[in-house]
Amino acid sequence: MITEILRIDPDDIDESVIERAAEYIKKGELVAFPTETVYGLGGDAMDPGASKRIYAAKGRPSDNPLIIHIAETDSLSEIGEDIPKAAYDLAEAFWPGPMTLIVKKKAIVPYETTGGLDTVAVRLPSHPVARALIKKSERFIAAPSANTSGRPSPTKASHVIEDMDGRIACIIDGGAVDIGLESTIIDLTEEVPTILRPGAINLAMVREVTGEAAMDPGLKSEDEHIRPKAPGMRYRHYAPRGRLTIIEGDRQAVISRIKDSCDECKNAGQKVAVIASSETAKNYSGYRVFDIGALSHEEEIAKNLYDILRRLDEEDIEEIYSESFNTPNVGTAIMNRLLKAAGHRVISV
């Protein structure tokens, strides 16, 4: 298949590009498009054939459900059933934006899209290209991240091209995304609203709206019997080919431990790299350093993480040592992804 690549300026949308991409969606074909979180791989959510094509293009296990993207809050009640008030309150507060709500599904939503579940994930994105495409195609768009399953989610069109060229009908290149981490997923089918995947909307922000809210205990558990509720959070994800280790603790102790480990690797003839904050990166001169962004601008760290994980593979890095980035607002989401990428290998110093 030849993949058509269409460029667009999100601040000055060319309607003819949106029309062309919408035609593919209407025909049941797949279109990758930018959202404010990461690039999505979109298909008609009500067309089981399109859903199957999404799983095939990504190599995604078919029990891992897709998020349905809508362009108006009113569409939530066309897809979901028994929707609690908390869902509407959260929608009012954070839509359009990086938040996905899990509610009971209506019968019209195919099980191919929900991975066989009776619940459905719904999001109203804020990105102008995403919203224009949903509206123009007159469909709800099922869109997981547009990466090959297991790889980091794409935050630039070049990442999508790496993974999807030749596998899908069309890629809309709208430049780099804004947030760089996937949406916060909130389950509203439990007594207490529960975060199944941390994102830019954090627990404190959710609690401000709903009063009570919890984190899925499966996210943190070392016990493999307590598994994350979101099927996608159970899979190996984001991991670079090299071995990634997170070093945490007092700043100076972390720096010297990382330098010692790098020296050991160099002596053993291994290709080694460091992931460091802008504040500390200069301490690693002489080593291959990826500056992930400033701790004082934590959004930068979120935005750069997946690009760095991809670049580590491009450079065939064998051993990677990363600082910890437990920043106040997006830190939980950043560390959730980094810990998965590291296979939970952490050394405290």
Write out the residues near ligand AMP by the rule CB under 6 A: 64-65, 67, 102, 114, 117, 119-121, 144-145, 182, 185, 196-197, 229-233
Pairing of the two strands 214-215 and 319-322: unpaired
Number of amino acids touching Mg ion (CB under 5 A) = 1
* Coil/strand/helix, residue 8: coil
Q: Tell me the closest approach of the beta carbon of residue 148 to ligand AMP, in angstroms.
A: 11
In the complex with ligand AMP, which residue's Cβ is closer, 182 or 298? 182
In the complex with ligand AMP, which residue's Cβ is closer, 104 or 271? 104
Do 192 and 213 meet the contact criterion of CB atoms below 8 Å apart?
A: yes
Counting contacts by CB under 5 A, is residue 145 touching Mg ion? yes
Hey, CA dihedral for 296, 302, 308, 313, is it positive or negative? positive
> Residue 185 binds which entry of ligand AMP, Mg ion, none, with Cβ cut-offs from 5 to 8 Å by kind?
ligand AMP
Angle between helices 128-137 and 15-26 in degrees, nearest 10: 50
> Residue 35 binds which entry of ligand AMP, Mg ion, none, with Cβ cut-offs from 5 to 8 Å by kind?
none
What pairs with residue 145 in β-bridges? Answer: 40
Q: Which stretch binds Mg ion (CB under 5 A): 67-75, 137-145, 206-214, 248-256?
A: 137-145
Helix (H) or strand (E) holding 333: helix 331-341
Q: How many residues does the chain have?
A: 349
- Write the DSSP assignment of 87-110 as a string of letters: HHHHHHHH-SSSEEEEEEEPTTS-
Q: Tell me the closest approach of the beta carbon of residue 110 to ligand AMP, in angstroms.
A: 13
In the complex with Mg ion, which residue's Cβ is closer, 68 or 289? 68
> Residue 233 binds which entry of Mg ion, ligand AMP, none, with Cβ cut-offs from 5 to 8 Å by kind?
ligand AMP
Return residues touching Mg ion (CB under 5 A). 145
